[in-house]
Amino acid sequence: EVQLVESGGGLIQPGGSLRLSCTASGFTFSSYAMHWVRQTPGKGLEWVSAISGSGFGTYYADSVKGRFTVSRDNSKNTLFLQMNSLRAEDTAVYYCVKNSSGYYIDYWGHGTLVTVSS
Partner 1 sequence: QSVLTQPPSVSAAPGQRVTISCFGSSSNIGNNYVSWYQQLPGTAPKLLIYENNKRPSGIPDRFSGSKSGTSATLGITGLQTGDEADYYCGTWDSNLSAGPLVFGGGTKLTVL
Q: Which residues make Cβ contacts (< 8 Å) with residue 91, sequence separation at least 6?
A: 40, 114, 115, 116, 117
Pattern 36-75, binding to partner 1, x per CB under 8 A?
A: -x-----xxxxx--x--------x-xx-------------
Residue 109 makes contact with partner 1 by CB under 8 A: yes
Contact segment (CB under 8 A) with partner 1 among 10-18, 66-74, 82-90, 101-109 equals 101-109
Contact status, residue 34 vs residue 96, Cβ threshold 8 Å: yes
Contact segment (CB under 8 A) with partner 1 among 20-28, 68-76, 80-88, 95-103 equals 95-103
Give the C-alpha separation, 116 to 60, whole Å. Answer: 20
